[in-house]
Chains A and B, each alone.
Chain A
Amino acid sequence: MAVLVIADHDGAHLRDTTLKVITAAQKLSGDIDVLVYGEASAVAAQAAAAAGVRKVLTAESAELKADIAEAVSALIVSLAGGYDAIALPATASGKNVAPRIAAALDVSIISDVIDVVAGDTFVHPIYAGNALETVKTADAKKVLTVRPTAFAPVAATGGSAAVEAVAVPAVTLKTRFVSDEKVVSDRPELGAAKVVVSGGRALGSADEFKAVLEPLADKLGAAVGASRAAVDAGYAPNDYQVGQTGKVVAPELYIAVGISGAIQHLAGMKDSKVIVAINKDPEAPIFQVADFGLVEDYKTAVPALLKALG
């Protein structure tokens, strides 16, 4: 059995996510190849250095760089013959393309895998993580998205896999890339950060969101996250949303500021090691999952926290 892992990267760096998907893949097989598509050159070497990788495949084109699903899935389907399983990270990019690959191969998709029980049996959360479903697939080829927070990363160094460019299949695209609007930040990425500071509707405006949360995030070296309400209201970019239908994070420390703790939000952060909630309502459901709760107005609590941190 061999597994093809699809790398998660930004053109310069291999994300930690990839190393976590490799760990999940190792539960299926010792033969793991990693596909780096898009701007592959710098990243391929990093993938080759990851522990436990047999071979790194690279593929480059403008469409792959733009992450056009039709192009990416055509590439992966063209490689699928050599593999028993294809594992993608459960990121927006992975979720965009994985079901396409599965449908093209006429197999089911198993979304958001958090545990590999056997070669054909997987655990994944359903109902916003309120239930865990164990499913056994009858499909010979498996297509999975893997929830990175559920697996530890393999070592980033020590491997010395060969790197091999693969042919990019020609596809007539009916999709064109128009533009990108990426949020640039010097902070650690939400999915990878050791500390996450998240804000909710209580913050009341984009300016207040920044003014309150950024100094705290700076002091803690944290990534910034948000509730859906804060994103919907325009206090924070969409990419910050933590939850059932946003990003799933599991940092060492998660600080929720002015967030009530709806189940859809909890779905994205309840596996954090330590959870802190700052909320002026003692009945807020967030306190049911918080290790440490501070019942206070954030307007006094956050400055006091900054002061105490020195």
Chain B
Amino acid sequence: MKVLVPVKRVLDYNVKVRVKSDQTGVDLANVKMAMNPFDEIAVEEAVRLKEKGTVTEIVAVSIGVAQCEAILRTALAMGADRGLLIETDQDLEPLAVAKVLKAVVAQENPDIVLMGKQAIDGDNNATGQMLSALLDWPQATFASKVEIAGSEALVTREVDGGLQTLGVQLPAVITTDLRLNEPRYASLPNIMKAKKKPLDTRALADYGVDAAARLTVVKVTEPAKRSAGIKVDSADALIANLKTAGVL
């Protein structure tokens, strides 16, 4: 069984976000970038399935600038077998990413596309669902547990009000939620080994996909700041303040 894991290079989740003063976007110059945390969870799950013997090959794919190679190497160090970098300087919308991934699926023929539920930059939470629709494959989003049983994946999903378990026939698209696993850190020997694993680079143009932007960014602004509050020194003082504020 083969798994394709799309991984996105994003601003590290610990980095403070600064909006550019010209309102054209977020300042990404000289800041730490990393693999999207949900994609780390996806890589980890694929590696665990491989360790269990269910999966035989894991291909990690990233679409973006040349520096995406670094996160592909991370995926390889975690246990992916091959990397594929589809290079472009264009910032792609989820629909375009899904179209490119559809073309990759046609080439690679994976049984599962295992990906993050959400990239923490755009917070779109869309690409997996879009890919599933384009492929006409079943989808199981927000997974907190994945079990492969023959030609079906049993996926427990984090939904409104609790959990839901679905059985999806493979091939399928599965997106990860936070509780699926805790990703491993790549060990030094594995980081060294990852340098020798195969990593192909292609140009976005090679895929002949219409990746044109549908959205124009009019502006990017900072949200209104909350004004600083006060410290109170007792529960009684707190309640008095809440009564004055009219919320009790």
Contacts and interface: CB of A to CB of B under 8 A. Distances in A.
Do these two chains interact? Answer: yes
Interface of A: 10, 66-70, 73, 91-93, 95-104, 106-112, 117, 121, 125-139, 173-183, 195, 220, 228, 231-232, 237-239, 241, 244-245, 252-253, 263-264, 270, 273-276, 282, 287-295, 301, 304-305, 307-309
Contact of A135 (B120, B168, B217): B217
Given A127-B26, A175-B140, A294-B235, A109 B126 contact: yes
A10 B162 CA distance: 13
Point out which of A98, A128, A175 has the most chain B C-beta atoms below 10 A from its C-beta: A175
B139 to A, nearest CB: 6
Contact of A108 (B93, B121, B138): B93
B106 interface: no
Interface of B: 11, 13, 16-17, 19, 25-26, 38, 93-95, 98, 117-118, 120-134, 137-142, 144, 154, 158-169, 172, 177-179, 214-223, 226, 228-236, 238-239, 241-242, 245, 247-248
Contacts of A132: 220-223
A68 B166 contact: yes
B127 A99 contact: yes
B95 A276 contact: no
Nearest to A135: B215
Contacts of B241: 292
B230 A291 contact: yes
Contacts of A274: 242, 245, 247
A61 to B, nearest CB: 16
A255 B184 CA distance: 34
B247 A135 contact: no
A1 B177 CA distance: 37
A12 to B, nearest CB: 13
Nearest to B218: A134
Contacts of A73: 133
Nearest to B214: A108
A95 to B, nearest CB: 5
A100 B166 contact: no
B178 A111 contact: no
B243 to A, nearest CB: 11
Given A134-B219, A294-B231, 13 more contacts: A69-B139, A95-B126, A97-B129, A100-B133, A109-B130, A121-B218, A128-B17, A134-B218, A180-B164, A182-B161, A241-B178, A245-B120, A288-B226
B215 A129 contact: no
A238 B179 contact: yes
Contacts of A237: 162
B215 A96 contact: no
B229 A103 contact: no
Given A111-B124, A137-B215, A174 B238 contact: no
Contacts of A68: 166
Given A174-B168, A180-B162, A103 B98 contact: yes
A308 B123 contact: no
A253 B139 contact: no
Contacts of A111: 122-126
A104 B135 CA distance: 10
Contacts of B139: 69-70, 96, 100, 175
B130 A179 contact: no
Contact of A127 (B121, B126, B178, B231): B121
Given A121-B218, A174-B138, A291-B245, A109 B179 contact: no
A183 B158 CA distance: 12
B123 A112 contact: yes
B165 A99 contact: no
Given A239-B161, A270-B226, A308 B235 contact: yes
B162 A181 contact: yes
Contacts of A291: 226, 229-230, 245
A177 B155 CA distance: 10
B68 to A, nearest CB: 19
Nearest to B212: A138
15 contacts: A92-B159, A96-B129, A102-B95, A102-B130, A125-B223, A128-B17, A131-B222, A138-B214, A139-B214, A177-B166, A181-B163, A245-B178, A291-B230, A294-B235, A308-B236
Contact of A175 (B123, B168, B229, B242): B168
A125 B215 CA distance: 15
A227 to B, nearest CB: 11
B238 A179 contact: no
Contacts of A135: 215-218
Contacts of A270: 226
B169 A175 contact: yes
B152 to A, nearest CB: 8
